[in-house]
Amino acid sequence: MKSIKQILSLALPAMVENILQMLMGVVDSYLVAQVGLIAVSGVSVANNIITIYQAVFIALGASCASLIAKAMGEGDEVKTNRFIWDSILVTVLLSLALGLLSLLAGSSMMSLLGTVTSVTEAGSLYLYLVGGGILFLGLMTTFGSVLRAQGKPKVSMNVSLMSNLLNAVLSAMSIYCFHWGIVGVAGATVLSRLIGTVVLWLVMKLDIKSYQISKPFNRDLLHLVFPAAGERLMMRAGDVVIIAIVVKFGTEVVAGNAIGETLTQFNYMPGMGVATATVILVAHSLGAGKKEEIKSLVATSYWISTLLMMVVAATVYFLGSGLTGLFTENSRAVEASVVVLLYSFMGNPITSGTLIYTAVWQGLGKAQLPFYATTFGMWVIRIILGYLLGISLNMGLSGVWLATILDNLFRVIFLYTMYRKNMKTI
């Protein structure tokens, strides 16, 4: 019972925070849609790039939380403090690099995604501003991870809520009152994140005099960050290839697949929240040398994640046709969307396993295994098998999603088997 309460106390705020971060991009797209079709198309494409940045920051945050929680479990205040400052420094350096990339190559990245000139110009403007100010998204993510590792998950959730509400108000004012268009919406997004960053910094109460980084730089952190970030990038890059396969089935199927994926995003929120809790709790127990507690936490995390995900997925699936109808009345698109909802629902227990056991390995400080599993699963199983089933065997979208389930099945079996072996040596 104690482990259930521990998991939920960390997981529920993380779930809410994930939803709020997703909604910020949705709000921006909705308000920009009032400007025109070209504007909303540009912002939507630019947000795909911002989403990649966000995935990297989430991986970084999980790595930071793992090491901080482990140090706290060991009762080492000096190491804990050093990990916090190391995490902040890595976040700043990575954010500056991504910010410069957005400013110097934003237009080129938009063009590579195949957008026409007018959409490229609109999206580039948004990417220059939001991508250029990506530092504040990075710091908010890392600060939130630090607070969760310290047992204060509701703080970052509340600040995210405040930041989203502020963004909605400022963006609406920029569109309806001042008519600033994309510049106003992008500026509101950056400003709201800046304010959120400042609030989190004040809540953390870090003493600048305690600033201390590892020399030479923290190898433990880098050994976690690079594989964790690489795992997310492999997923995102593979998704682009999968879309290229889906395009072969026609525009209506592409639209239906996109609608289905939009709806099924909510299926994964519980699992992602529980995974966030799992990273922290496993790392803390590892630092405290409590092997049996780790086993109990992992098993409990999996069942909580699976149960919550199945409840959400079942709700989305059984309301599928009606929800899809809010987006389109095209029968073939609706049919494709329902295929996505069905396979997502059926594959949820497996997907839950991939989320939880990826988190377990990050908590154990060995993020390389999930990186290897995701790289092989995505690029060898999901993509190749998706092409063979979907196109060569004429199974269409069902073939692509069956390959997705088989990819996740491979990963969960691999990660679970290696976990069982690893626990015998701890």
Contact 403, 386 (CB under 8 A): yes
Identify the sign of the CA torsion 72, 78, 81, 83.
Answer: negative
206-259 pLDDT, tens per residue? 877 777 777 767 788 888 888 988 998 888 888 878 888 888 888 788 888 878
Q: Which two tokens stand for residue 132?
A: 């250029």
Quick one: pLDDT at residue 38?
81
Calculate the alpha carbon distances from 1 to 5, 6, 7, 422 in Å.
6, 9, 10, 26
The position carrying tokens 């929240």 is 273
Quick one: pLDDT at residue 129?
96
- The DSSP annotation for 180-222 comes to -HHHHHHHHHHHHHHHHHHHHHHHHT--GGG----SS--HHHH
Q: Judge residue 166's burial from the number of C-beta atoms within 10 Å of its C-beta, 0-12 exposed, 13-18 middle, 19 or more buried.
A: middle
Give the separation between CA 40 and CA 19, rounded to whole angstroms: 21
Quick one: pLDDT at residue 25?
67
- DSSP-derived secondary structure letter, 259: H
Low-confidence ranges of the chain (pLDDT < 70): 1-2, 25-26, 29, 114, 216, 426
Give the separation between CA 192 and CA 170, rounded to whole angstroms: 8
> Which of 188, 37, 48, 56 is CA-nearest to residue 110?
48
Identify the sign of the CA torsion 345, 350, 353, 354.
Answer: negative
> Which of 140, 165, 122, 124 is CA-nearest to residue 54?
140
> Which of 298, 291, 281, 403 is CA-nearest to residue 352?
298
Quick one: pLDDT at residue 415?
97
Quick one: pLDDT at residue 47?
79
Quick one: pLDDT at residue 1?
54
Quick one: pLDDT at residue 292?
86
